[in-house]
Structure 1
């Protein structure tokens, strides 16, 4: 494990679509799941994580999940226990809090992966029933996100440049200006 400066890790963070053929050892996958589980959660027992490293399931994932365009040897599926979430959070909590929480888990995975030499790719194009069937989720567990996991190729393609997030100050339309102070 490498000690990383958080700001440097954020700056270097990216989605990887090309991975080596090396399988990810189960203890390392378990550490990635630990990192996702350590992200904020509205309540305990709502998030569920399926760790997938079976080559046959991974091959099927590439066939049935349109956005799974990587050669990653493993993936994590993050899901929400809808029954438990509604019991403790109410309907709005199910729709809002659980989505925010899964985003936090993805951020943890992206940063933690760098410290253990792994890259990730958040898969955004798939149908929930396909994921439900692929990893045999019961009906009360909603698949929220799939994350490809693997060792990054020694020479990954350069990260895309040009992403810019507009910053507003106090109100929309007033551009944030950094001061020299």
Structure 2
């Protein structure tokens, strides 16, 4: 857990200092991570919401081996934004991690989560991701705390791994 806390703090400083694309921020984070902690690997996703001139937002993200963002729309549809993830941190800081973008409509919700939310020993990862997407779609228009509670509630306090969940809903 300490390593995750350190990575989070380093990431905040780099993102603030560089104000670059998500892939550039990940590249710099991997450089620092490699110098400080050569050896362990971890997954990370860096995402940013930017306003679009015609309304809505643009989601820009880059991933270091992390699960994709989950997009939930007000019409109760959900889908993972599958894209090339690139390697986890700690593999090779020189390997590329491409940037991705998706225009999001007003009312859409973006969910970022750790694999602990969707993994369990009894089912395939794809089954867990599908289950999370279905739960999110059913609760698409509920307040964010209720949507998050529904996602966290499906594990009945018995997740096999740590769970992190970040939700953002676009109001304009």
Larger C-alpha radius of gyration, 1 or 2?
A: 1
Q: Which TM class, normalised by the smaller chain length?
A: under 0.3
Higher RCO, Cα 8 Å, sep 6+: 1
TM (normalized to structure 1)?
A: 0.23
